[in-house]
Amino acid sequence: MTLQQQVELQRRGLMFVLSSPSGAGKTTLSRRLLERYKSAGAHETIVMSISVTTRKPRPGEIDGKDYFFLEEKQYTDMVDKGELLEYARVFEHHYGTPAKFVQDHISEGTDVLFDIDWQGTRQLFALTKDVVSVFILPPSMEELCRRLRARAQDKEEVIAKRMLKASAEISHWQEYDYVLINQDLDQTLEKIDSILRAERLKRVRQQGLPKFVQGL
């Protein structure tokens, strides 16, 4: 193992947040970012934070892979015990992030990817400086509506609710470190990857640098 590899191994992980209105692309972009690093076998690793939720599974979703699907009582118990890093109510259902999973990976130098809304992002910022946040905007509200319908997952009344909420979600764009317009999925993915790679190189995250410099 080279000295450079030893320095890299001592990097502290970060919490990498992607947020957007429903249908603007954050879930697809999250999945493709994870696939990119997994297929490349990269030394730098990133894992998905698996949220808990009280909503029912959508078609194709798997418990323990997409979400941990909980009953209301189970969710309330986790909140009361302080076992959630962040939590919020979205579209009449509850969501949250189990704290231990995230904290263990961060301390080991592994980045954790979050697919959460502005409420959860705000809570993370209040807890730690290890957060990098990206907000994904649709190219237009008309395109956002088209994408929601193209998913064929929700009824028209649900889509109408999501469109009403989209404007409120977009109003929080200034709270994020980076803001991207997702007009082309491949181009947006490249920008997200560039942000992640640059943030990993920040001096404050290179915990091995002081020892390295002393040895020069």
Q: What is the DSSP string of the chain?
A: --HHHHHHHTBPP-EEEEE-STTSSHHHHHHHHHHHHHHHT-SS-EEEPPPEESSPPPTT--BTTTBEE--HHHHHHHHHTT-EEEEEEETTEEEEEEHHHHHHHHHTT-EEEEE--HHHHHHHHHH-S-EEEEEEEPS-HHHHHHHHHHHT-S-HHHHHHHHHHHHHHHTTGGGSSEEEE-SSHHHHHHHHHHHHHHHHT-GGGBTTHHHHHHT-
Confidence at residue 180, expressed as pLDDT on a 0 to 100 scale: 97
**Digit-coded pLDDT (tens) for 130-156:** 999 999 999 898 888 888 877 766 677
pLDDT classification of 43: cutoffs 50, 70, 90? low
pTM of the model: 0.81
Q: 10-202, what's its fold?
A: Rossmann fold (3.40.50)
Average pLDDT over residues 164-172: 90
Average pLDDT over residues 193-199: 96
pLDDT at 44 over 80: no
Average pLDDT, the chain: 87
Average pLDDT over residues 93-106: 90
Confidence at residue 25, expressed as pLDDT on a 0 to 100 scale: 86
Domain ranges for the chain: 10-202
pLDDT at 206 over 70: yes
**Digit-coded pLDDT (tens) for 56-88:** 998 889 998 889 999 999 999 999 999 999 888
Confidence at residue 7, expressed as pLDDT on a 0 to 100 scale: 46
pLDDT at 194 over 90: yes
